[in-house]
Amino acid sequence: MENYLTQITNYLLAQSWQIAVLVMVIAAVCLVLKNKSAHVRYLLWLIVLAKCLVPPLVTIPLAILPQDKMQEPTLISSGEMPAVNVEMADTVTSEPIALPSLVVTSPTIMERLARVTARQWLGFGWIVGVAAFLLFALIKALQTNVWLWRQRKPLSAELQSGIENLFSELGLRISPQVWLVEGIGQPFVWGLLRGSIYLPADFVKVDSTEHRKGILGHELSHILRFDAAVNILQVMAQAIFWFHPFVWWANKKIRAEREKCCDEMAIACLGAKVKDYSSAIVNILISEYESARPVPSLAVAGPVKNIEERIKTMLRPGKKFYKRPSLVAVTFILLLALLAVPTVLVLTARAGTEAEETIGGRVIDEKGDDIHVKTEGIVQKFITAVRNMPKVFAIKAKTQFLMKSSTGKEKKQLTDIKYYRNDRCVDIEDSVHNYPLVNGKTDKNSYVPYYQRSIVDRKNRAFYYNSGRKDRVPQMVIFWSDGEKEFNNISKNIGIGGALEGYVAYDNRNLVELLSDKASSIHYKGLEDIDGSKCHVLEVTIQNYGSYTLWLDPQHHHLPRKVYVTKKGKDIYGGTPVSELKLAHGSLAEVSYVMDSIKFKDFDGLLLPVACKTTLIWKYTSGETAEWHGEHERLSIDLKPDFEALNAFEPDIPDGTRINHQDFVGENIQFEWRNGKVVPVDVKQLPLSLSLE
């Protein structure tokens, strides 16, 4: 509901200023055409009415606003970080992990009200205003209908005969109903489409036949022009923009020009003398002051206060009267309306001189039409939320994986994870237990323990070592002197948390980078309910990366509640043809990846994902398939960790352990760990041009 209110306010704000500009332009043009036919000015004002009723169909961005600066990630000092610690047992059970469910409580009414933004309050106020306006208009219309039904009387035979003769003289194919009503002093038209004519009861007392013809001719013009239907559209436009003074003024101008159009039409059709017609109008409108009941406010009638302007217009020397606007005028105004009415101008920021991360591709709706996404739009809010994720933390987590293949093999993997990170270093420690499955059950007697640890200083060094021993003594250690690349690789590992931070399978870029790709095409599919939240559904197609469907939750900072990825052919490996990557089962034909059941917890206003489920399915050209099902849970999150007490970022490698130094691959030089350093076993083996210092 809150999202709809924001959308309503955004629509009204965009339309309101453009309607104001359009009204001023039309007013200026009409001022220039003040001595021309009222038919032309009336059609011009109808463009404003159409603008109020027709939703925008074509978006034209105008880059005139100052350049927006991207919001930088909020850096929270350690003193501001809330600490949440949950102890995790050191021993690993052979039973499947029972991931405790997160209790998501519904916010109270006061909490929901506290979250309501100013734009949402404006949207709510608009709905109240529309409802009140329409209710008032409906009550007035019903009261008028009841009153007319009770008060109206049929015409006398003599008056009916005279009116029918007038219809015949004018060659009318229709015969609108004409009624007499006691207590009114001015004729008017009332109805839905064409309406009926209501005359004062003393209309028969009008002495001059020409005067009666003039008055009836004016009301017949309203009937023939469908002015009753246009009047209803005016009421609808006024209901939508009840707050807009320019719309009220435009409706006033439409009614004034409409009366002038009917004056022109009546004089032209009847061939009446202008002075006789003007006298008839003056006499009948003056009687309005003597009537017991005024003309209904929603009726099609000429206001008495406009009579002076109408008379001056008709008596102007050289004035020509037309039954209808010319074909040229109608064609020109129709083309102008086709340009102005369905078009919406969106003010955007001017392009900056510095490179910025922006939404790269096209954003289209279900019809394939472009949708402009502002800086504060859905995708940008998601990007900002991901950027604002903490960069300093200590996490304990557990994952459970079930691997299946089409050949019938199954294996379960349970992993305890310690994950430490700051702006420069990352330390991942995994205790992995692989269990073979026999007839769908865990083989408790033959599991394979596995321990691995990665320590990366992005400015200096990177270690990776593993062990199959219970005492965790490293059996293989890999070392890089440049840790930048490995720092990024670890962040992208979906098994240790990357899945909760925007990275998905087989991608070396996270979703923020992919959405910023110039080759991306973003397709907005609408809203879908996930656990009570109305999520925006986006389909994203990215060249060489595949198709992504994202469910972004506005109640959780537009973070994803679900992600679905499909990759085929060369998209599987970022554009590399799979024919060049022969695997054990043959070439991969398709990879699909699903991340769902994403849960969040609030840490003093910082919303963090704490659990999710993932499914990865491989399909090979050989026909074989493999499946990988995982559950991820962060058991504890400490946002102000004591890394020294945790022994983070320092390798626990025994002296004398052999090191596989990646900077000297193929050089046949042996290295070992000694006194906290990587050193060559024989310094003489080092090339003269190389040094470890």
CA–CA gap between residue 48 and residue 45 (Å, rounded) = 5
The residue among 13, 370, 136, 372 whose CA lies nearest residue 5 is 13
Which of 436, 430, 557 shows the shortest CA–CA distance to 497?
430
Q: What is the model's pLDDT at position 602?
A: 78
What single DSSP character describes residue 301? -
- 381: in domain: no
The three-state secondary structure class of 4 is helix
**For 177-240, where are the alpha helices, taking DSSP H only?**
209-224, 227-240
Does the residue 183 lie in any domain? yes
Predicted pLDDT of residue 72: 35
In a domain, 225, yes or no: yes
| pLDDT at residue 90 greater than cutoff 50 | no
For residues 78 and 211, the model is more confident at 211
Lowest model confidence (mean pLDDT) among 84-88, 501-505, 579-583, 688-692:
84-88
If you average pLDDT over residues 423-433, what whole number do you get? 84
Q: Are 286 and 59 in contact (CB under 8 A)?
A: no
243 vs 78, 212, 246, CA distance in Å? 49, 41, 9
- From CA 496, how far away is CA 173, in angstroms rounded? 81
The whole-angstrom separation of Cα 572 and Cα 505 is 9
Beta strands in 100-211 (DSSP E): 152-153, 178-181, 188-190, 196-200
What local confidence, expressed as pLDDT, does residue 578 receive? 57
Question: In the structure encoding, which two tokens stand for residue 614, read together?
Answer: 């993932």
The string of pLDDT tens digits covering residues 265-299 is 989 988 888 888 888 877 776 665 555 566 765 55
Q: What is the DSSP code string of 54-96?
A: SPP-EEEEEEEEPPPPPPPP----GGG--EE-----SS--SSP
Count, residues in the chain? 693
Residue of higher predicted confidence among 256 and 84: 256
pLDDT at position 465 is 78
Do 532 and 561 touch, CB atoms closer than 8 A? no
Between 204 and 636, whose confidence is greater? 636
Domain that holds residue 173: 138-235+255-321
Over range 388-402, report the average pLDDT: 83
Residues 468-479: pLDDT tens digits? Answer: 777 788 888 888
When mean pLDDT is compared across 253-267, 287-301, 502-516, 606-620, the lowest value belongs to: 287-301
Give the integer Cα–Cα distance in Å for 257 and 309: 11
For residue 679, pLDDT over 80 is answered with yes
Window from 146-160, 209-223, 399-413 with minimum mean pLDDT: 399-413
**Which amino acid belongs to residue 409?**
K
What amino acid occupies position 622? S
Q: How many domains does the chain have?
A: 1
Q: Sign of the C-alpha dihedral, residues 568, 574, 578, 579? A: positive
Mean of pLDDT values over 236-242: 96
Tell me how far apart the alpha carbons of residues 218 and 233 are, in angstroms, rounded to a whole number.
21
- Predicted confidence (pLDDT) at residue 142 exceeds the cutoff of 90: yes
Instruction: Classify residue 457: in a domain, yes or no.
Output: no
* pLDDT at 281 (0 to 100): 78
Nearest to 259 by CA among 238, 276, 239, 281: 281
Q: What is the pLDDT of residue 80?
A: 35
Q: Cβ distance 632 to 595 under 8 Å?
A: no
pLDDT of 693: 42
Specify whether the CB–CB gap between 418 and 396 falls below 8 A: yes
Percent of the chain whose predicted confidence (pLDDT) is above 90: 16
Q: Are the C-beta atoms of residues 189 and 227 closer than 8 Å to each other? A: yes
Contact at 8 Å (CB) between 52 and 241? Answer: yes
* Domain presence at residue 44: no
Q: Which residue has the tokens 């339309």?
A: 15
pLDDT in tens, 155-180: 888 888 888 888 887 777 778 889 99
Amino acid at 322: Y
- Residue 187 belongs to some domain of the structure: yes
- Residue 163 in domain: yes
For every residue of 423-441, DSSP letters joined together read SSEEEEEEEEEEEEEETTE
Segment 529-533 mean pLDDT: 86
Task: Please indicate, yes or no, if residue 495 is contained in any of the structural domains.
Answer: no
**Residues 244-247: contacts with CB under 8 Å, at least 24 apart:** 244/16, 244/19, 244/20, 246/19, 246/20, 246/23, 246/24, 247/19, 247/23, 247/48, 247/52
Task: Output the pTM of the full model.
Answer: 0.51
In the predicted structure, residue 95 carries a pLDDT above the cut 50:
no
pLDDT digit string, tens, across residues 491-503: 666 445 565 566 7
Mean pLDDT value of segment 19-45 = 94
Nearest to 496 by CA among 464, 519, 459: 464
The alpha carbons of the chain give a radius of gyration, in whole angstroms, of: 39
Q: State the pLDDT at residue 400.
A: 82
